[in-house]
Each structure stands twice: as structure tokens, then as C-alpha cells.
């Protein structure tokens, strides 16, 4: 389970089996991992370009290993 925030909304608890959707260019984040491991299936349509991932907090970019095909920021 994770706490997931979309835009300026209050983070919500997302538990196994739940689905989250949001439009492209909407700022979103996992604010807390409540129960580990947290496993995600992400579907981006149309296909996400490698330069389409932007970290607001550049220090958090070190944790970007979960996103394949990203170049160094």
C-alpha cells in the first residue's frame, strides 16, 4: 500500500488491487510507502518518450531506477 498524491489533492491510500488514473502532464507522486513491497503496473498510452519523465525534486531522481530507458538528468 502507498499514499499517492495527484496535483494539490490530499494524498490517498492506495491498496493492492486498486487503480489510479490521471491525465498526461498532471503532477503526481508516491508520498509514502505504507506497506512494502509496493508493485506497480504502469500503462502509458501513447507510449511515453524517455524525456517525458520530470522529477520536481531533483534529489528524488536518484530513485528513478524503476523507470527504464531514462538518460541522466
Mean pLDDT of 6-28: 92
Q: Provide mean pLDDT across the span 9-28.
A: 92
Q: What is the pLDDT of residue 73?
A: 43
Host H or E run for residue 6: strand 2-6
pLDDT at 60: 65
Rounded to the nearest angstrom, the gap between the alpha carbon of residue 10 and the centroid of all alpha carbons in its chain is 16
Helix (H) or strand (E) holding 32: strand 28-33
Top pLDDT among 48 and 36 is at 36
List Cα–Cα distances, 33 to 11, 38, 53, 62, in angstroms. Answer: 12, 7, 20, 17
Q: Which carries the bigger pLDDT value, residue 39 or residue 54?
A: 39
Q: What's the CA gap between 6 and 27, in Å, rounded? A: 6
Amino acid at each position: 500500500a502507498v499514499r499517492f498524491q495527484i496535483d494539490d489533492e490530499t494524498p490517498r491510500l492506495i491498496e493492492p488491487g486498486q487503480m489510479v488514473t490521471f491525465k498526461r502532464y498532471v503532477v503526481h507522486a508516491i508520498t509514502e510507502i505504507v506497506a512494502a513491497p509496493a508493485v506497480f503496473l504502469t500503462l502509458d498510452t501513447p507510449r511515453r518518450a524517455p524525456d517525458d519523465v520530470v522529477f520536481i525534486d531533483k534529489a528524488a531522481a536518484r530513485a528513478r531506477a524503476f523507470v527504464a530507458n531514462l538518460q541522466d538528468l
